[in-house]
Every structure is written in C-alpha cells, then in structure tokens.
Structure 1
Amino acid sequence: MTAANPTEHDDPVSSLRARIAQVSAPPMSDAAKHLLDALLEKFPTSAALFYGSGASVSSHEDPTNIIFDFYIIGPSYDALYASGMLGLANKIMPPNVFYFETPSPDGTLRAKYAVLTIDHFESLVSTKTFHSYFWARFAQPCRIYDPNNQMRDRLENALAQSIISFCANAVGLVGKSFTAKELWLAGLNASYKAELRAEDSDRAGKLIESYGDWAATVTAPALRAAGYSVTKENDKITIGETPKPADLSWRMRAMAGAGLSVARLLKGTQTFNGGIDYIAWKIKRHSGIDIGVTEWERKHPLLGAPGAGLRYYRLRAKQKNT
C-alpha cells in the first residue's frame, strides 16, 4: 500500500491549494487576457475565475469562434453594481449572467460572465449549500485572474472547498472503494441531471480525460478534508467508513434543479445584456443564417425573441429552397 504524502495527509487543504495554484500558473492565452483586461475595466476592484471551454483553447483554434466563460468576483454588490435591483437579484437567485464582447487584433471576442461577491461565492461552494450548481462547477480546474492580488488567497480556499464539497457529496454514489475517475464520473453525471443539462452520456468521461491527473491528485485530499480516513493502493482509493447513500440527495437536487433552471433562464432574459446578439451570432456560426437583430429587439429581448425566431425559420426555409 502506498504511503500518503505527508503534506497532503497533515494539511489536505494546503495540498488542494497547491494544485489549484499550479493550474493557475501558466500564462493565459492572449485572447483570454485581452477579454479579461477589458472586462475588469468595468469591475476594477474585482478578480475573475476563468473556466469552461475557453480555458482549454489550444493555440491553433480561432478564439473568435469561442464563447469564453468567466465569473467576476467582487468585494461587495455595491462595488459591483450601480443598480440596487441587480444586487438584490444576485442575492436572491445567484448568479446574474451577462454577455460581453470586445474588439481585438484577432477580431471580435465574446464572453459570458457571471457576477458574485467573494462572501457569497464562499458560501455557495461550501458543504452547507445543498444544490451542486456552484461547487460542482468549481471543483473542476479553473484559472484565477487577480491583477490586484487582493482575493487570491480567499479564491484558492473557496476553490479547494468546492472540491471538498463535490467529493463529499459524490462519495455516497460509489461506496467505500473506488477510483478517482469513478467518483468523478458519478458526481459529474449526477450534477448534470441536477441542472437539467442535456449532456452526451460520455461528456463527463471526456472532461475527466481532458483534465489530466486532476481527479487523481485532488480526490484523496478532498475526502480527508471532509473527514474521511483514506488509503490509496495504485489508483484505488478506500475510505475507512461506509459513506451514507447519496442517491436520495441527488434525486432531491434534480427535483430542485428543475425549478432553479427555469427561474435562472427567466431571470437571464432580464440580466443577459446583449444576449440576443449572442444568439444571433451562434445561429450565423452554425447555420450561416444572419437573422439581422434590430435595435428594438436589443432593447426588448424578451418581447423581441419570438420575432427573431420567426425570422430565422423564414430565412432557413428560403435557404433550403435555393
């Protein structure tokens, strides 16, 4: 049986933070940094978390064909928003999500960004938060961008807590003995169901493979931090006590997730500024059809969406007949 790494065993959170810092160390792509610098001009006292497809873009891919995903983490909602209503919406149904685009030497770069305060983020990724929406996302590798170097320590701790929350809630799906990949497959697939996300059945496996040794290096220390005694033999992890079955908890998350997903979509029609341009861009990218968004539709996206949708179907029918 392999001996546990002393640092990992004595201070598993420090072990997780070291791995998080390692992932954040390599330079970002020019496109991601350009977007973040432009975006943080709007939020000068904030830091950002960079995750999703854009975080793994290779140098040969065209960044103008990618939607980058960011979380803006600020010190307070008063600092983040001039509007008290936006801050209130963020507190009641987090997060608020917005669309952002900016010119660059490569062409127009696009991003979706969500907004939270650091206090709120720390709360949402803790084990006290029942639903997986936040801690399952941020248990996965992501990058910290903190040009003011004011929040890095707290963000590293919060990301470590995300991993702990994810592993603690997923371990009941796999029992006492498992591989890190088995735990992550079970946890990610359960989290997709909890958000009504229509992912391919092999999506979780592909993600885990793309993350390299992430699951293998963070799972054991996360479980130790959650209070489990852990031994490792080759790639097999064994915990000293049988975890509580988690099927019922995940079914409850899936039931709650249905309502939460609908509520977030409805709220997004009000907060996702520029969203109709983003949708039009995606339609043109995938089908070649330019629906030509009007200024009225930009000002009234919820009312304008049906008309834009009808225009798309007419243009698609015309395209098929030519």
Structure 2
Amino acid sequence: MTSPLSALVAEELALPVEPAVAAMAAAIAARYPNAARAVLFYGSCLRETRLDGLMLDFYLIVSDYRSAYSGGWLAWANKQIPPNVFPFEHDGLVAKYAVLSEADFAALNRPEASSVSVWARFAQPSRLVWAADDAARATAVAAISEAPVTLFELTMPMMGHGTEYQMADVWRRGFQLTYGAELRAERKGRNNSVVDADPDRYERFGLAAGSQIAARRGIGPNGEVPDALSPTAANRRWTKLQRHGKLLTLARLAKATTTYAGGIDYLAWKINRHADAAITIRPWQRRWPILGALSLLPKLLMKGSVR
C-alpha cells in the first residue's frame, strides 16, 4: 500500500519540466540503451525557466554498472566511489549527470548511508523526467521516499530535548548538518533559503516523514515517537559523516579527472556562483587538475568559501 509520503514524492516527481530539460534527459538515457532506468532532474535550476548559461543537474539511474559501461575502469570506479559524473551538452544547453545503480541509489537514500550526498539532495524537490517503464518509476519513488525519513531520523536527536521548534526548524537544522558533512561552496544561510523557498512543501513532507517514522517505530506512552539514536550516538554519527564526507569529496574530485573534461573549470564556476569567491584557474592547474584543485582548498577554507 502506498504511504502518504510515497504519494507526495510520486506527485512531486511527476510535475512537468521545461521541454528542453525533458529532451536532455532522454538524450542522456539514450547513451545507455542497455542500462538506463530513470533520469532525475534536481538542484538549483529546478525552478528556472531561462536555462541558457546554467549548468543543469541530473542523476542517471542504471540497472547495474557492468551493463552501463560494458565493464572496465568506469564500472569499477562507479562501484567503488559512486557516483561517476560526466559533462553533457544537448541543443545548446549544458549539464552534468551522475550515474548510480538502482541498488546504490536505494542504499544511499537510507540512514545507514556512509555519506549524505544523495539523501540530502533528494530530500529536496526533484523531477523524474524519464523512466524506462513503470517498474523503474516505482523503484525511483521508493528510493526517494527514504530521503526525508533519513533526514528526520538523523536530525531529530540533534534538536535538543525540551526545546520547542517548528517543522521548518528540523529541515533547516538537517540541511545545516548536511552542508557541514561535505566540502560545499554555499553562501551562509543556504539551509534556511532552501526551506524558505517553499515552506508549505517542507511542512507537508515533514509531517508525512514523521508519520512514516511513527508507523515504523511506534509511539511512546506520552504520545512521543522515540528517536532512532540518542543525542550522544547522533553526535558520533554526524562526526563520522562529516569526516567521511569531506574525504569522499576529495576522492570524487580525483576520480573526476578521468571522467569529467574541464572539471576544474566547472569547480571554479560553481564556487564563484555559490560563494562569490572570484576563483581564477591558472594553466598549470588545468594541466594537473588534481593538484590544481587541492591547491585551491587552503585559500577557500580560510575564506570560508568552502566548508
């Protein structure tokens, strides 16, 4: 039986997108005829209608990596350090897309995930713009339905017992914690602006996530829903996520030099767009992109452009 949260997710995923976005998603899927299962559109461009000059963000969900790449290095790299990320151009628009298997996409939306990178994004709005069939659509809905639950499971113990807060406060705190668990170029207060952009959406999704948690865990004698973790255990969990997430960002950056042409220029563009850092890439940094990217980190960390 479909849960209220899954129904909300399915409804949101089915909302229309710009025709150019749908065309680009179909073109991405066409590159993987033996493996493509779903293409999801997400990120800061989701609410934009003028797409020229923007970098669109997609996730390509595949059946498995061997089928997607016919084996080899890319299949191994995608399995060991998911996802692989590739640049893409179609009809004058530019994008990047990340590749995950259906199994990894489901696992990385759950509370046990070793990083926040997938569930933190899909707890926010997204669109399912291409699906191979109804089964692929249902699988995507089921995976994404876990993302808000994961955010609430890990955030609620961090809210402080005995304090009063609203539903939006949980989301804001959750996103604040996730931003601290990756090397991200975001303006201060980004966790607030994400929620404030559509507070009604986050209220509805939060209530549905809470109901799903209550159904799974039960309700205490005073009407309370027990937290998944104690505050001490939750602090340890977030410390581990923060440590692992920053190391994972560096590993993905190193891997991207083999898959993402011009990756360091994209990195600079994203930092400049989100953090007003005025980063300029030098020729030697393009020649040795891993060293070039690492050379930017001390300055960015000192300025607070990357946290």
Structure-2-length-normalised TM-score: 0.79
Long gaps (5+) in structure 1 = 1-10, 232-237, 310-322
Deviation at 1:26, TM superposition (A): 2.5
SS at match of 1:38: helix
Q: Which residue of 1 aligns with 2:305?
A: none
Match of residue 148, structure 2, among 121, 145, 163: 163
Q: Which residue of 2 aligns with 1:207?
A: 194
Q: Which residue of 1 aligns with 2:304?
A: none
Q: Which residue of 2 aligns with 1:244?
A: 230
Structure 2: distance between partners of 1:143 and 1:18: 14
Match of residue 252, structure 2, among 255, 259, 264: 264
Deviation at 1:196, TM superposition (A): 2.3
Match of residue 53, structure 1, among 36, 44, 54: 44
Moved over 6 A (4+): 279-286, 303-306
Q: Which residue of 2 aligns with 1:97?
A: 85
Structure 1: distance between partners of 2:238 and 2:131: 38
- The yes-or-no answer on 1:40 pairing with 2:29 is yes
Q: Which residue of 2 aligns with 1:75?
A: 63
Deviation at 1:119, TM superposition (A): 1.2
Structure 1: distance between partners of 2:44 and 2:121: 12
Match of residue 17, structure 2, among 28, 46, 49: 28
Q: Deviations over 1:43-99 (max 9, x none)?
A: 233311110012111x3x2x1211000000011112211342111111111111111
Structure-1-length-normalised TM-score: 0.75
Long gaps (5+) in structure 2 = 297-307
Structure 1: distance between partners of 2:271 and 2:247: 27
SS at match of 2:32: coil
CA 1:277–1:185: 2 relative to 1, 3 Å: closer
Q: Which residue of 2 aligns with 1:115?
A: 99
Structure 2: distance between partners of 1:251 and 1:26: 36
Question: Residues 69 and 112 of structure 1 are in contact (CA less than 8 Å); yes or no, is this contact kept in structure 2?
Answer: yes
Q: Which has the higher Rg, Structure 1 or Structure 2? A: 1
Q: Deviations over 1:174-209 (max 9, x none)?
A: 145532111011110100010022322211111112
SS at match of 2:57: strand
Question: Residues 228 and 239 of structure 1 are in contact (CA less than 8 Å); yes or no, is this contact kept in structure 2?
Answer: no
CA 1:280–1:184: 2 relative to 1, 3 Å: closer
Structure 2: distance between partners of 1:115 and 1:224: 31
Question: Residues 100 and 274 of structure 1 are in contact (CA less than 8 Å); yes or no, is this contact kept in structure 2?
Answer: no
The worse-fitting range, judged by mean Cα deviation, of 252-261 and 179-188 is: 252-261
- The yes-or-no answer on 1:186 pairing with 2:173 is yes
Structure 2: distance between partners of 1:95 and 1:268: 10
Amino acid of the structure 2 residue aligned with 1:215? Y
- Over the residues paired in the alignment, what is the CA RMSD in angstroms? 3.3
Structure 2: distance between partners of 1:263 and 1:217: 36
